[in-house]
């Protein structure tokens, strides 16, 4: 009988931080939080999502399937009245699974890359911060991220977003912010 690998205390802490960092970079989730698309308790519900993901990843003796994690994230976003079809759910799920596997091996490279790619002030997921006030630079970063959803998340490397400023968000006649699918990006910026 094969004994499932266990996370060390350090790996547990790294995994928790990695989950926070990854969710903090997910533009769709951050927009839902900022705009309270799930109601006034959106921020608290997003905090609970991070806890739920952590508990899902550390389930003992169960095989973890990325499809199940994708369903968890998709169901959560739907509970916030947000339908995601830009491929970010799959990217976030894949990266969470990679991060978990690396943590089981005592390898924290992915998490360190995430840590280094995010300004020091934003190391933790924005929902954990709890401040309703956000600085204008934080809002600008969120809008840049919204225009370029998780473009480099597949290998957990990040380019400096300050080099290429994102175009202003598009707003329709009803005041809704339009977030285009990655599939529709083509060469039209």
Give pTM, 2 decimals: 0.62
Residue 60's pLDDT is 72
Residue 103's pLDDT is 95
CA triple 90-150-91, angle to 5 deg: 15
Instruction: Determine, yes or no, domain membership for 52.
Output: yes
| 140-158 mean pLDDT | 36
Q: What is the Cα Rg of the chain in Å?
A: 17
At 163-188, the pLDDT tens digits run: 334 445 566 666 676 665 444 444 44
Tell me which of 130 and 47 has the higher pLDDT: 47
Q: Indicate the angle between helix axes 42-57 and 88-104, nearest 10 degrees.
A: 50
Give the residue from 99, 137, 126, 114 showing the smallest Cα distance to 31: 126
CA 88 to CA 92: how far, in whole Å? 6
Q: Provide the phi-psi class of 118: left if phi over 0, else alpha when psi is between -120 and 50, else beta.
A: beta
Range of the domain at 68: 9-184
Reported in sequence order, the residue ranges of 17-161 that DSSP labels E, i.e. its strands, are: none
Instruction: Determine, yes or no, domain membership for 1.
Output: no
| 78-87 mean pLDDT | 92
Give the residue from 88, 96, 86, 87 showing the smallest Cα distance to 65: 96
CA 185 to CA 47: how far, in whole Å? 31
Q: For 115-136, b where at least 16 C-beta lie within 10 A, e where not — what string?
A: eebbeeebebbbbebeeeeeee
| CA distance readout (Å), 84 to 11, 29, 91, 173 | 30, 10, 12, 21
Start-end of H helices in 108-187? 109-117, 126-129, 136-147
Instruction: Determine, yes or no, domain membership for 125.
Output: yes
At 22-74, the pLDDT tens digits run: 999 999 999 999 999 999 999 999 999 999 999 999 887 678 899 999 999 99
Instruction: Determine, yes or no, domain membership for 98.
Output: yes
**How many structural domains are present in the chain?**
1
Mean pLDDT of the chain: 73
CA 34 to CA 142: how far, in whole Å? 9
Residue 113's pLDDT is 93
Instruction: Determine, yes or no, domain membership for 3.
Output: no
| Of 1-10, 108-117, 150-159, the least confident | 150-159
CA 54 to CA 70: how far, in whole Å? 14
Instruction: Determine, yes or no, domain membership for 110.
Output: yes
């Amino acid at each position: 009988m094969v004994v499932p690998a266990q996370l060390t205390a350090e790996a547990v802490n790294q995994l928790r931080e990695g989950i926070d960092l990854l969710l903090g970079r997910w533009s769709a989730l951050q927009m839902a939080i900022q705009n309270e698309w799930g109601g006034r308790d959106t921020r608290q519900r997003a905090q609970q999502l991070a806890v739920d993901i952590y508990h899902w990843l550390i389930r003992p003796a169960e095989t973890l399937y990325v499809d199940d994690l994708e369903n968890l994230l998709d169901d959560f976003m739907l509970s916030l009245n947000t339908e995601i079809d830009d491929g970010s759910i799959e990217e976030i799920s894949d990266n969470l699974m990679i991060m978990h596997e690396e943590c089981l091996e005592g390898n924290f490279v992915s998490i360190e890359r995430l840590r280094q790619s995010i300004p020091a002030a934003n190391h933790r997921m924005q929902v954990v911060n709890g401040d309703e006030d956000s600085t204008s630079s934080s809002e600008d970063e969120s809008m840049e991220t919204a225009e370029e959803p998780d473009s480099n998340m597949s290998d957990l490397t990040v380019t400096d977003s300050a080099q290429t400023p994102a175009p202003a968000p598009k707003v329709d006649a009803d005041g809704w912010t339009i977030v285009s699918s990655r599939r529709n990006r083509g060469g039209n910026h």
